[in-house]
Amino acid sequence: MSRVLSGIQPSGSLHIGNYFGMMKPMIEMQNDHDLFCFIVNYHAMTSLHDGLELRKNTMAAAMDFLALGLDPEKCYFWVQSDVPEVVELSWILSCHTSLGLLERSHSYKDKVARGLIPNTGLYTYPVLMAADILLFNAEIIPVGKDQKQHIEITRDIAERFNNTYGDIFVIPEPLISDDIAVIPGIDGQKMSKSYGNTLEIFEDEKSLKKKVMKIVTDSTPVEDPKDPSQCSLFALYRLFAGASETEQMRERYLKGGTGYGQVKKELLEILIEYFRPYREKRALLENDPAEVYNILEKGAEKTRAAAAVTLDKVRKAVGISYRV
């Protein structure tokens, strides 16, 4: 059974892009993989400097995962800051990571180019990510194409460490699914919190309706045929509709006579219905935060036991454990 690891940042409300890009695939993997799934609140600190907001987002992300079907009995589920071993390993790895390796990080350069004020945490982000992965001997790391280089950096760090101290770390492999297309936001760009174009998973229906009705479309008249392959609205609809419904909608596009306003109404209906059972479970969790705390505490305890095995080997290898 392969060991799979992935995490999500609590930097804002989770949206449909997060769901199809990471959350749904991870939840499906819990049945036939050794799954490690966590909320990366240390990473979120590179851009989020509001303590109350980070605390709120962390709990919200935990509730979202549990409501959507993640079973803590079938996997390791924890909040990053509840497993402090990762910070110690990150420091040890940073002492074995060249500046040149970090300076080649495309993600850092891109964020700075977009106007994000750089800090040391943003610069050393790949080292903490490497610690997240290597601490648990993860073999498979599902990532988007934009994160592929970070896995390559992790591999470089692990190989350099192993060359120095012996076979301590498992060398991970990225898993990049070509089946997951870019999910468009309401403006047609990639759905992203940074673009302000998201449809949130547990957004209230009134707000969701307002956003769906704002989804950008072209000016093709109602009676004319339309190209479904070029329509963000259709791309979103097919995520939730079954194969038969999707094909029927495709035929309606090509035939003409169906306006975008009608498609938006149908998208809203199917969105609300798809997430209805998850909304109900989410409401129960929100009314019982003590249960969520309990789940996360148990998850951290189980995860720390796994982390201790690797960290003990590392401490002995580098000489931090100096008693013989």
Domain containing residue 216: CATH number: 1.10.240.10
pLDDT value of residue 1: 80
In a domain? residue 30: yes
Q: Is residue 323 part of a domain?
A: no
Name the token pair of 154: 């992790």
pLDDT at 116: 73
Low-confidence ranges of the chain (pLDDT < 50): none
| Per-residue model confidence (pLDDT) at position 192 | 87
Residue 324 placed within a domain: no
Same structural domain, 219 and 97: no
Q: How many other CB atoms are there within 10 angstroms of residue 219's CB atom?
A: 6
Q: Is residue 61 part of a domain?
A: yes
Q: Are residues 226 and 104 in the same domain?
A: no
Predicted pLDDT of residue 175: 87
Strands 76-79 and 3-8: what pairing? unpaired
- Does a structural domain hold residue 193? no
Token pair in block for residue 99 = 């500046």
Domain identity same for 276 and 297: no
* Helix, strand or coil, per DSSP, at residue 174: strand
Same domain, 207 and 247: yes
Length of the chain: 324
Domain assignment of residue 195, yes or no: no
Beta bridge partner(s), residue 6: 37
Q: How far apart are alpha carbons 138 and 2 in whole angstroms?
A: 8
Is 151 in the same domain as 43?
yes
Percent of the chain with pLDDT over 90: 80
Question: What is the CATH number for 82?
Answer: 3.40.50.620
pLDDT at 179: 58
CA–CA dist 75, 27 (Å, integer): 9
Give the pairing type, strands 3-8 and 34-39: parallel
Residue 260 in any domain: the answer is yes
Structural domain count of the chain: 2
The residue segments making up the domain with residue 251 are 202-284
Residue 84 lies in a domain: yes
Which residues are paired to 141 by β-bridges? 174
Q: Which of 24, 74, 148, 193 is catalytic?
A: 193
Torsions phi, psi for 79 (to 5 deg) = -100, 130
- In the prediction, which pLDDT does 180 show? 61
- pLDDT tens-digit profile of 174-193? 987 765 667 999 999 989 88
Residue 83: predicted pLDDT: 98
- Which of 190, 265, 281, 313 is an active site residue? 190
pLDDT in the model for residue 30: 95
For 177, phi then psi, to 5°, come to -85, 125
Question: Is 190 annotated as catalytic?
Answer: yes
89 and 314 Cβ atoms separated by less than 8 Å = yes
Let me know whether 120 and 158 are in one domain: yes
